[in-house]
Amino acid sequence: MTMREAFAELYNSLLTLNQAFDHLVWAINEDRPQGDDTSPVGRLDDTVQELQGWVVETTQRMAPVRDARPQSMAINRSLVDCQRRCGRIIDQFNNHLVGNETVAWLAILARDEDKQWRSWAWGVRDALEACRIPVYALNQALLRCWSELVETNEAPHLRVMAWVSPEDTCLEQDLPSRNISDPSVE
């Protein structure tokens, strides 16, 4: 996998997570029974909306470096920034959306006598569960980006630059290096 492919995978995993959050927002708001508006419903919706904002912001901040050279400092800085942001998304998801308090509250509603609230609670629980795989995929995509970055930075490379006169145009070419410690390389 190349750094560009790893970044594309990370970008796509953020888009997939945002789609899962869209479904969760729908489950929270569209299926909610009318009347008895409980404050945990609003907090749950606010948390998901905040997470979606972070996901969108992260994808927007990644866009300029998706096509950058693999060993550019822009890639390094972007990955650190993305790690920080994704870490916050994952933490918020695990500690607030699927945390003990939310799960317990949904379990109580799932046993409620009101059939509409019971149905709503099960729908939200299902939508929350459907977010777990995209959250895990996001974490794995981050790991692959870091792995690629380490492999790219460990491999020495050679940049050849030639000045062409009379236009003083610079031609650049990155050449992959060969591992001289590998006996199979001649």
Q: Got the DSSP string for 99-154?
A: SHHHHHHHHHHHT-S-HHHHHHHHHHHHHHHHHHHHHHHHHHHHHHHHHHHHHHHH
Q: Sign of dihedral through CA atoms 76, 79, 148, 59? A: negative
On the question of pLDDT at 182 being above 70, the answer is no
Return d(Cα 71, Cα 148) in angstroms, integer.
10
Amino acid 112: pLDDT? 78
CB 172 within 8 A of CB 158: no
Amino acid 162: pLDDT? 47
**Domain residues of the chain, as ranges?**
3-156
Q: Sign of dihedral through CA atoms 116, 122, 124, 126? A: negative
Per the confidence metrics, is the pTM higher than 0.85?
A: no
Secondary element (H or E) of residue 51: helix 39-62
For residue range 35-70, list pLDDT tens digits in order: 656 677 888 989 999 999 999 999 988 877 666 665
**Which tokens belong to 139?**
């974490």
Average pLDDT of the residues in 21-26: 95
Higher pLDDT, 161 or 91: 91
Angle at the Cα of 108 from the Cα atoms of 103 and 110, rounded to 5 degrees: 90
Amino acid 20: pLDDT? 97
- Judge: domain 3-156, CATH 1.10.357.10: no
Amino acid 141: pLDDT? 93
For residue range 104-153, list pLDDT tens digits in order: 988 888 887 788 888 988 999 999 999 999 999 999 999 998 888 888 76
Return d(Cα 154, Cα 13) in angstroms, integer.
26
Average predicted confidence (pLDDT) for the chain = 80
